[in-house]
């Protein structure tokens, strides 16, 4: 009897000390799920690229990535940390996780070199990115480590009471939206204004802010336009080494009707050619200023000189290709067969140099072949190949719109052009191309002299408003 009681006591103790494996597993899983949920909720309130609503398809991501590559990584670029942060996010979204981690690491190093300090509020976004990256790679320990680093930075460098974020975070968010998303430009302007209001000495913030105002807004009132020009002038004086800003200021003055000294433009051209190659150098805008206010021949000479001086720099070939495309498209009287051949060769090079973002370049190439003697068959073949591709809706819409333009302007095939404008308009994606196709259809319907006017009227009536 005593032995039985003793055995029962031992079994009860054993169950207490060594519960069943199933019970242990359930408890562990439950605790793990709760911890992960807590971690996820903390990650979701971070300010970083993973929480800034930058979700786009691969096509857009490749285009932004190529744009950032063309900026270059020259030392002294004050946006280098921001560039690496955005490239890291894009590489993760494209499935290149090792590259993503490498770029985030480079971003931290660039920030510390530029700011000449080992830590500071400029690392909040970077650490947030790393916390998210390790979470998504299922390394929750490292994710928690970076969350702790974010908390420590925010406690040491709090934002002012009247602002939700620190100036450094506002500036990086503004720059990211400015470069990534055209539909968030107003928000980017607001963030830049808040950042500059807190740290007005950051001249690169002010330079990017005024360029954003100049590039992305059209002004109905001369008074407001004058205000923006004055802001650009002040920013240029504060940041004299920013040739990109200097070129755009000159361009803006010229567009307003101010007399521009051709020798001043040429001197700016020499300065841009001396500087390291970058899309931030202002070369593309400078070529535009040359062609409009100096001469088309000097614009061509400048573009060709840049290509000869830096034969391996794809961005300069892109600038030259854009100039030749403009000549072929809008200056038909100057577009000799030699010019068209040069335009075609440059465009073909670009397609090989930008393999992941070459859709528009392929359409441009098709249009150039349409301008070439006996080249329309080749142009139509290229468009048919593009039309058979499996594209994202936004790219398909753009292709339909551009093909409708090709049919209308270059082939004078109005009926087929109308059909492809309809195809572009019916894709439920809000864009310039959809708006433009709808506008074309409305103009044809308004004139009332096309046999498809009735069909267009019914089509437009059935279109949903986006």
pLDDT digits (tens, 9 = 90+) for 99-128: 999 999 999 999 999 999 999 999 999 999
If asked whether residues 61 and 133 sit together in one domain, one would say: yes
Please tell me the total count of domains within the chain.
Answer: 3
* Residues 53, 138 within the same domain: yes
Q: Is position 362 within any domain?
A: no
pLDDT at 392 > cutoff 90:
yes
pLDDT at residue 94 in the model? 97
**Is 132 found in the same domain as 35?**
no
Residue 46 in contact with residue 136, Cβ under 8 Å? no
Choosing from 110, 129, 156, the residue where a domain stops is 156
Is 72 in the same domain as 144?
yes
Mean pLDDT, rounded, for 134-149: 96
Q: Is residue 203 part of a domain?
A: no
Calculate what percentage of the chain has a pLDDT beyond 70.
90
Neighbours of 460 (CB within 10 A): 14
Nearest CA to 166 out of 207, 122, 106 is that of 122
| Eight-state DSSP code of residue 406 | I
Residue 18 has what pLDDT?
46
Residue 26 covered by a domain: yes
The answer to whether residue 30 scores a pLDDT higher than 90 is no
- When mean pLDDT is compared across 150-154, 249-253, 272-276, 393-397, the lowest value belongs to 249-253
The domain boundary, picked from 135, 156, 177, lies at 156
Q: Are 52 and 143 part of one and the same domain?
A: yes
The confidence score (pLDDT) of residue 222 equals: 57
Residue 215 near residue 189, CB atoms below 8 Å: no
Does 72 reside within a domain?
yes
Whether pLDDT at 420 is above 50: yes
pLDDT for the residue numbered 464:
87
Range of the domain at 437: 390-466
In a domain, 169, yes or no: no
Note whether 35 and 51 are same-domain residues: no
How large is the average pLDDT for residues 187-209? 96
CB-count burial class (<10 Å; 0-12, 13-18, 19+) for 458:
exposed
- Which ranges constitute the DSSP H helices of 256-311? 262-274, 283-293, 296-309
Q: Are residues 69 and 128 in the same domain?
A: yes
Pairwise CA distance, residues 384 & 76, whole Å: 46
Is 5 in the same domain as 96?
no
Confidence of residue 183 (pLDDT cuts 50, 70, 90): confident
Q: Can you give the pLDDT at residue 31?
A: 53
Mean pLDDT, the chain, integer: 90
29 lies in the same domain as 1? yes
Least confident of 23-32, 68-77, 122-131, 172-181: 23-32
pLDDT, residue 217, reads: 56
Sign of the four-CA dihedral 68, 72, 73, 76? negative
Q: pLDDT for 52-72, tens place per residue?
A: 999 889 999 999 999 999 999
Has residue 273 been placed in a domain?
Answer: no
- Reported as type and span, the H/E element at residue 255 is helix 243-255
Query: Number of C-alpha atoms within 13 angstroms, CB side, residue 457?
Result: 10
Residue 233 counted as domain residue: no
Domain end, chosen from 112, 137, 156, is at 156
Q: Are residues 64 and 143 in the same domain?
A: yes
CA distances (Å), origin 69, targets 73, 83, 351, 353: 8, 9, 16, 12
pLDDT at 280: 93
Q: Is the pLDDT at 195 greater than 90, yes or no?
A: yes
Encode pLDDT of 220-266 as tens digits: 445 567 888 899 999 999 999 899 999 999 988 888 888 889 999 99
54 and 150 assigned to the same domain: yes
Is residue 41 within 8 A of residue 122, CB to CB? The reply is no
248 is written with which tokens? 């755009």
* Cα distances (Å, whole numbers) of residue 456 to 232, 396, 410, 419, 427: 45, 21, 22, 9, 16
User: 134 and 60 in one domain?
Assistant: yes
In a domain? residue 367: no
């Amino acid at each position: 009897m005593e032995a039985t009681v003793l055995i029962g006591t031992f079994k009860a103790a054993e169950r207490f000390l060594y519960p069943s494996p199933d019970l242990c597993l359930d408890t562990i899983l439950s605790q793990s799920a709760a911890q992960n949920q807590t971690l996820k909720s903390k990650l979701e309130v971070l300010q970083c690229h993973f929480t800034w609503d930058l979700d786009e398809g691969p096509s857009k991501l490749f285009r932004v990535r190529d744009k950032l590559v063309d900026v270059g990584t020259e030392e002294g670029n004050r946006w280098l940390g921001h560039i690496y942060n955005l490239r890291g996010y894009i590489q993760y979204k494209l499935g290149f996780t090792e590259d993503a981690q490498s770029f985030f690491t480079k971003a931290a190093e660039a920030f510390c070199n530029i700011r000449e300090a080992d830590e500071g509020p400029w690392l909040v976004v970077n650490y947030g990115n790393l916390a998210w990256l390790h979470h998504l790679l299922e390394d929750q320990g490292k994710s928690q480590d970076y969350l702790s680093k974010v908390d420590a930075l925010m406690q040491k460098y709090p934002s002012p009471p009247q602002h939700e974020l620190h100036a450094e975070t506002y500036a990086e968010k503004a720059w990211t939206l400015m470069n990534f998303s055209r539909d968030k430009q107003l928000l980017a302007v607001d963030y830049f204004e808040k950042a500059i209001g807190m740290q007005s000495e950051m001249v690169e913030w002010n330079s990017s802010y005024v360029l954003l105002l100049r590039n992305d807004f059209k002004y109905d009132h001369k008074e407001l336009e004058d205000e923006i020009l004055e802001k650009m002038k002040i920013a240029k004086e504060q940041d004299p080494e920013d040739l990109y800003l200097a070129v755009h200021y000159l361009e803006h003055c010229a567009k307003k009707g101010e007399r521009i000294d051709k020798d001043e433009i040429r001197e700016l051209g020499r300065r841009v050619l001396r500087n390291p190659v970058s899309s931030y150098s202002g070369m593309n805008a400078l070529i535009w200023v040359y062609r409009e206010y100096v001469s088309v021949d000097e614009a061509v000479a400048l573009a060709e000189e840049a290509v000869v001086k830096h034969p391996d720099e794809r961005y300069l070939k892109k600038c030259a290709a854009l100039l030749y495309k403009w000549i072929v498209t809008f200056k038909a009287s100057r577009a000799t067969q030699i010019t068209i051949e040069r335009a075609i060769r440059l465009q073909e090079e670009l397609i090989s140099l930008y393999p992941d973002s070459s859709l528009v370049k392929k359409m441009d190439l098709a249009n150039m072949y349409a301008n070439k003697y006996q080249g329309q068959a080749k142009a139509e073949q290229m468009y048919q190949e593009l039309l058979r591709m499996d594209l994202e809706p936004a790219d398909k819409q753009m292709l339909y719109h551009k093909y409708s333009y090709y049919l209308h302007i270059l082939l004078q095939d109005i009926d087929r052009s109308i059909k492809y404008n309809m195809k572009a308009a019916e894709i439920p994606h809000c864009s310039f191309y959809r708006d433009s196709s709808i506008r074309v259809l409305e103009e044809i319907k308004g004139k009332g002299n096309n046999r498809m006017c009735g069909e267009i009227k019914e089509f437009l009536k059935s279109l949903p408003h986006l």
